[in-house]
Amino acid sequence: MDITVIVPVHNRFSDIDRLLSSLKLIEAPGQITIRIVDDGGTVDYDPLIQDFKNSRPDLPISLLKIKSSVGPAKARNTILRDCDTSHVWFLDSDAEVVNPDTLIRANEIFTNNPTVRAVGEEIVCFADNMFLCRTRFFPNFFFRSSFLPKEKAEPCFAEAIPSSNLIVDRRILESIGYFNEDLKLFEDVDLCFRIRHAGYKLFSSPSLAAIHHSSPSGRTGAYNFYQTVLGYSRTFHLARIQLIRLHNPRILCFLPFIDLTLGVYLFLDSVLFNRSAEKTAKKKRNASFGIVSYAFCHFLGILLAYFSLLIRLREDNDKTTL
């Protein structure tokens, strides 16, 4: 299995340093090529690239600089269009590979399961403890994340795998398409759903896990929404509406009712059983937010998304009548 590692980065020197340090230990079942995409940043990564070359001369590494930020989806696609390896490994710049034999384990899964075309696993850290983050999606693309202690989690098929650590058979991407560049968020969810709609499976395993540090740095302009819960909520629900239109448009007429029903359920589930919402709020760099404030921000985000949907539907209707 030959593989191209694709890492978009924007002004994250220390994060990319940590990631490359972890990749220095990687064991390869075939040829590995590492491609870093500097997405409109101002940081000089050349010292890190040279240090990696000195440490692992057997692993080719290169840096592509894009003048202005285009976002992670387009940055990844830029490399994909120039890629000819059998597999691609998407890593976020704030990821950290934990297992040196990750690619060997991935190759075994692909070999033993011909219907599996994407694998990976995400670790998140709370209070210095590591948890595997696994997500269940509802028909309206609300989701609930389960945080499982790494040592207790079992391998399983997945609905979606984050692009912070996602290994994909590149040949399937040639048939279903690359990342959707219109999505500011959840472009990886969209890609995973398209893989599944094509009849293939995704597989999560602790042996493939990489830490996602969710760095607060390296986000500017239109991609700065992670800094506040309200900013994240607004972007989340706009992207959610886009996903619904792409993958489940039949529910659009009933969306307010579905959102209300599932929203109340997830809110009560979080309050009564102390599930993922409070941890998610902390992950979004706003640890002082309580569950009520967090829910209120999402309520505002939903209203803004509905307004955007109405405008888009009216524009589509106007185009149809012309």
Q: Residue for token digits 């890492």?
A: 7
- Pick from 92, 3, 89, 86: nearest CA to 39: 92
Residue 266's pLDDT is: 82
Residue 218 lies in a domain: no
Enclosing domain of residue 161: 3-212
Sheet containing strand 122-126, strands side by side: 95-97, 210-212, 122-126, 129-137, 143-149
**204 and 260 fall within a common domain:** no
**178 and 65 fall within a common domain:** yes
Pairwise CA distance, residues 264 & 270, whole Å: 10
**143 and 238 fall within a common domain:** no
**194 and 232 fall within a common domain:** no
Residue 286's pLDDT is: 47
Residue after which a domain boundary falls, among 212, 235, 258: 212
Residue 160 CA: distances (Å) to CA of 118, 135, 145, 189, 226: 9, 7, 12, 6, 21
Residue 219's pLDDT is: 64
DSSP string, 231-254: HHHHHHHHHHHHHHHHH-GGGGGG
Q: Tens place of pLDDT for every residue, the chain, 322 residues? A: 999 999 999 999 999 999 999 999 999 889 999 999 999 999 999 999 999 999 999 999 999 999 999 999 999 999 999 999 999 999 999 999 999 999 999 999 999 999 999 999 999 987 778 899 999 999 999 988 888 888 888 999 999 999 999 999 999 999 999 999 999 899 999 999 999 999 999 999 999 999 999 887 766 655 666 667 788 888 899 999 999 999 999 999 999 999 999 988 887 877 665 554 444 444 544 444 566 777 788 888 899 888 888 887 777 767 666 5
Pairwise CA distance, residues 251 & 99, whole Å: 41
Answer yes or no: are the C-beta atoms of 77 and 181 closer than 8 Å: yes
- Pick from 82, 4, 80, 6: nearest CA to 38: 6
The CATH number linked to 10 is 3.90.550.10
Question: Which amino acid makes up residue 67?
Answer: K
**163 and 267 fall within a common domain:** no
Residue 275's pLDDT is: 52
Pairwise CA distance, residues 47 & 299, whole Å: 45
Pairwise CA distance, residues 109 & 103, whole Å: 10
Q: Give the total number of structural domains in the chain.
A: 2
Residue 281's pLDDT is: 42
